Amino acid sequence: EDAGEMPKGKVLLRCKPGICVKTSIRFQSGQVQKLFLNICHTDKLGDVQFKKQEVKAHENPEAAGRTPGYAVSLPYSASPPRPDKDKKDHLCVVSDVAVSERTFVQAVQNEALLKLVVDTVCEAITASCLKGGETVSRDYKVLQKMRCKGGTPMPMSVSEDMLLTMKEGRQNAKKKVYLKLDSGVCITR
């Protein structure tokens, strides 16, 4: 990065550890391998946004009278899966996932949003990294005693256009968010 070796339009995104969730990859042979997702946070990405979607009866008569849904915008970045070993010294896979600090706090406090983050990343890993018919399980467990498998999140190469502009960053910096972790109270911005 300092030597200017990043491709044009790309920057390194460095994140803070958050929580670690454990899921698995199922291979066509039936073999299962553990997958750890480090859900990390940064002040460089935008917050999750929900936009109410009205269903118009003339566009979809079957949907008339139903509760309207939401369109979700979830800015995130995920590292390619990398090999590691679990506590029993078995081979496993780890991927770091970066979301905004505000999105992270909301996901920790709201199980449905955390599931949305995990499901979105599982779909992305299945589509972009697993080409042999493997699938990532949507069932997961939050590991209470581990914030980040491997110690610290790996820097991620992301497009500059994914990052918040300086003006957006200043607006977000005014919002202080408090998050209580098992290890105590952590203040994030």
pLDDT digits (tens, 9 = 90+) for 51-76: 888 766 666 666 666 667 788 899 99
For residue 165, tell me if it sits in a domain.
yes
For residue 65, tell me if it sits in a domain.
no
d(CA 159, CA 44): 12
What does the pLDDT average to over 138-154?
93
Q: What is the pLDDT of residues 20-60, one digit of tens each?
A: 999 999 998 999 999 999 999 999 999 999 888 876 666 66
Q: How many CB atoms lie within 10 A of CB 138?
A: 11
User: Exposed (0-12), middle (13-18) or buried (19+): which is 169, by Cβ within 10 Å?
Assistant: middle
Whole domain around residue 139: which residue ranges?
10-45+76-188
Q: What is the pLDDT of residues 113-145, one digit of tens each?
A: 999 999 999 999 988 888 878 999 999 999 999
Beta bridge partners of 59: none
For residue 59, tell me if it sits in a domain.
no
For residue 4, tell me if it sits in a domain.
no
For residue 54, tell me if it sits in a domain.
no
